[in-house]
Structure 1
Amino acid sequence: MSEWLTREEALARLNVRPQTLYAYVSRGRIGMRPDGTDPRRSQYRADDIAALATRRARGRSPQAIAESAIAWGEPAITTAISTVLHGRLVYRGVDAAALAATATLEETASLLWASGAAVSFASLTSSTARQSGASTAFARLSALAAEGRPSLGRRPAMLQQDGANAISVTATALGAIFGSEPVHERLARAWSVDAAGADLIRKALVLLADHELNASTFAARVAASTGAPIAACLLAGLATLTGPRHGGAGAAAIALVEDSERLGPDEAIARWLAHDRPLPGFGHQLYPEGDPRAEALLPDVEIDDGLLHLRDAVVAATGMHPNVDFALAALTRSLHLPADAPFRLFALGRSVGWTAHAVEQVTSNRPIRPRARYDGPVGSD
């Protein structure tokens, strides 16, 4: 839940007069509610105030605004696909956690793509590949990208079909068996998971389908702004996802819990922090009060003692709560999935969002080409 401040606390944090505070409320920039203990008084949403205070501290020079947009700063690209609002992840106006209770990844694609039609990731041709995983996905997407049509000048429905084809190929490359069933069922069969486990895979895929303008999505949009084929946009997203600060965080969370089981939670946490490494699986800058994706997934996952002890120790030591990478680690251990299952699930789920953003970027017909602020040497005359 959000933190709420009294009027006096809000005024102190913003360093403004009451009239200015009320103006922010009237413009919808700060949420307000009656005080539960005294209806004559009001409370103000703390995260709205923190965001305003940060913007005021940065100043409004063009350089400050531009630089602040790069790293967790001001919104830089207009989108109707998803957002994070007051601690909730929202897909086109629908709460993602609520959607994940019943929706499939295919149904989520229909929503995020605003397609108005059913989406299928069916793969009706048996794969001859003996291996599956990231390297296979790279190879298959690379081949599609090399042969794909440029995306400029084509109708959204055709681009979405390109995306569905690319996701179908990605799904089988990441381990899903061939067939026309929803992709979570095909993954579950490949991994010998029962119906309850298949439903957890379904929920995870939906929760991972999009997350506003994260690094891999930005990469996909940059590729789309050049008119690259949709498969190439997904390839750009996949390449960015491999970084340890993004899609590699799930594997790092498993490594942390294994350290915790070997050394003890407190010693493992101390060693990671002593080496200036953030604790994977915990905390998120967009969710200071807890990641709603983890909160939606974890209640249905059987969390083993190793993860429970680590979770309790991290919360006690840092105050940070589990995020979706912790949930993926718990899911992987509970269902005895392949060690790289967190990455596979992340890549497959997020490919739906990459497609949505690529199509939106293409149809906006706007290039993405920021300028660099040069601070190197200047040659003399």
Structure 2
Amino acid sequence: MDWLTASEALALLGTQPQTLYANVSRGRIKARPDPLDSRRSLYRGDDVRRLAQRTAGRRKQETVAVQAMQWGEPVLPTSISTVRDGRLLYRGEDACCLADQAKLEEVAELLWQAPIQFSALEGPAQGLPGAFLALAEQAGHDVASARSGSAAEASLVLSIIAHHLAGGSVSFPLHIRLSRHWQAPAAADIIRRALVLLADHELNSSTFAARVAVSTGASLWAGTLAALATLRSPRHGLASRHVAALAEDVGSAADPEAALREWLGEGRAVPGVGHPLYPDGDVRCQALLQSFEAPFDYLRFADAATEVTGDAPNIDFALAAMRARFSLPADAGIILFALARSVGWQAHMLEQVASGKQIRPRARYTGP
């Protein structure tokens, strides 16, 4: 694999620097820090040449549409969040800066542009299975009476998610409820920071599922159920579990780089590193890792993974390291994701309902 300097990449592409950086931020060209000068970046030659060939002629409309579904051009207007120039912004505010002090409840009010009001619920917290069942029960009610798409409805949805995932009294902030539920008081502020950083992330898979659902007239309950089902998957909310298993294996090996190359030699990808929207490293990961000391095995894994793949650790790595550092439950990663991202899901669904538009793309037929 060859890596090009910015001037070499621009010569092949025949574009301005800002176009090169835009292609990197959209995941079309992979970038990595120059080992000889950390202030500069190198660009993967295969990606640059492929894009140069593609842009040599005018792309067909169908090609643009297909690429838009795979880290390509934006497909939906939103004022909720975006990743731009390596920064995650919530309605224009830097999420990493918000994570220094804000609570998830405050981020919810920012994203919803409306106050949040938690409801006290009875019964024990039953984790993700309980949240699924409660959402399904509500979604099964009369749709006409449930699809108001209001902040009050969103508050009730979040109340049920919080009840089953965090338990505790609604008089306490969510990060305190969750730290007490896990009996991990030392992790309370780290949990708060993680929840803020995970609250929203543009048009990710689970958010897109939620928007599609409510665009048909389904309730916020149904949209959240669709999002939660999408989140509970190895390429999304469960990714940190796979990171933990590999980090503890590779990080404890005598030669972590050799162990990782053996893993790659079996045709498997390395979880926990790289992200198409963050060519210079996942800022959420950096913001979370700076607030605690990751276990030694995890640090060895991260160093080996960066050396072997050229990619920096991402948020899934940070969540796995956080779980190990504070002895949190095995499902802590997806619990944090589900509780935090429920805030973003509600914001996106409220925006979609207000638009009055149905999401119904066309398929590119490839059959006989």
TM-score interval, smaller chain:
0.7 to 0.9
Tell me the equivalent position of 2:95: 96
CA RMSD of aligned residues (A): 3.0
Tell me the equivalent position of 2:32: none
The aligned amino acid for 1:77 is L
Residue segments in structure 2 that go unaligned for 5+ positions in a row: 24-39
Counterpart check, 1:319 vs 2:319: no
**Secondary structure, in 3 states, of the residue corresponding to 2:280?**
coil
In structure 2, distance between residues paired with 1:346 and 1:153: 25
The 3 A distance-change label for structure 1 pair 224 and 243 is: same
The aligned amino acid for 2:310 is G
| Aligned positions of 1:1-381 closer than 5 A | 9=8, 11-15=10-14, 21=16, 56=55, 59-115=58-114, 117=115, 119-120=116-117, 122-129=118-125, 132-147=126-141, 149-150=143-144, 154=148, 159-194=150-185, 196-261=186-251, 263-264=253-254, 265-377=256-368
Of all paired residues, the percent bearing the same amino acid is 47
In structure 2, distance between residues paired with 1:143 and 1:58: 53
**Secondary structure, in 3 states, of the residue corresponding to 1:168?**
helix
Over alpha carbons, which structure has the higher Rg?
A: 1
Given that 1:315 and 1:321 are in contact with CA atoms closer than 8 Å, whether structure 2 keeps it comes out as yes
The aligned amino acid for 2:86 is G
Tell me the equivalent position of 1:34: none
The 3 A distance-change label for structure 1 pair 9 and 258 is: closer
The aligned amino acid for 1:128 is P
**Secondary structure, in 3 states, of the residue corresponding to 1:174?**
helix
TM-score after normalising by structure 2: 0.85
In structure 1, distance between residues paired with 2:57 and 2:354: 33
The aligned amino acid for 2:344 is G
In structure 1, distance between residues paired with 2:11 and 2:164: 55
Residue segments in structure 1 that go unaligned for 5+ positions in a row: 31-43
The 3 A distance-change label for structure 1 pair 361 and 54 is: farther
In structure 2, distance between residues paired with 1:55 and 1:123: 53
**Secondary structure, in 3 states, of the residue corresponding to 2:350?**
helix
The aligned amino acid for 2:124 is T
Distance apart, 1:63 and its partner CA: 0.8
The aligned amino acid for 1:316 is E
Q: Deviations over 1:83-118 (max 9, x none)?
A: 110111111100110011111111001111122x3x
Distance apart, 1:175 and its partner CA: 3.2
Q: Deviations over 1:134-189 (max 9, x none)?
A: 222211211122226448984x5xx2221111111111212332332111111111
Distance apart, 1:244 and its partner CA: 0.6
The 3 A distance-change label for structure 1 pair 255 and 58 is: farther
In structure 2, distance between residues paired with 1:267 and 1:204: 32
Given that 1:225 and 1:365 are in contact with CA atoms closer than 8 Å, whether structure 2 keeps it comes out as yes
The 3 A distance-change label for structure 1 pair 347 and 148 is: farther
Between the two structures, name the one with larger relative contact order (CA 8 Å, sep ≥ 6). 2
In structure 1, distance between residues paired with 2:354 and 2:57: 33
Q: Deviations over 1:329-368 (max 9, x none)?
A: 1111111111000000001101111111111111111111
In structure 2, distance between residues paired with 1:254 and 1:344: 15
In structure 2, distance between residues paired with 1:324 and 1:192: 23
In structure 2, distance between residues paired with 1:277 and 1:185: 38
The aligned amino acid for 2:282 is D
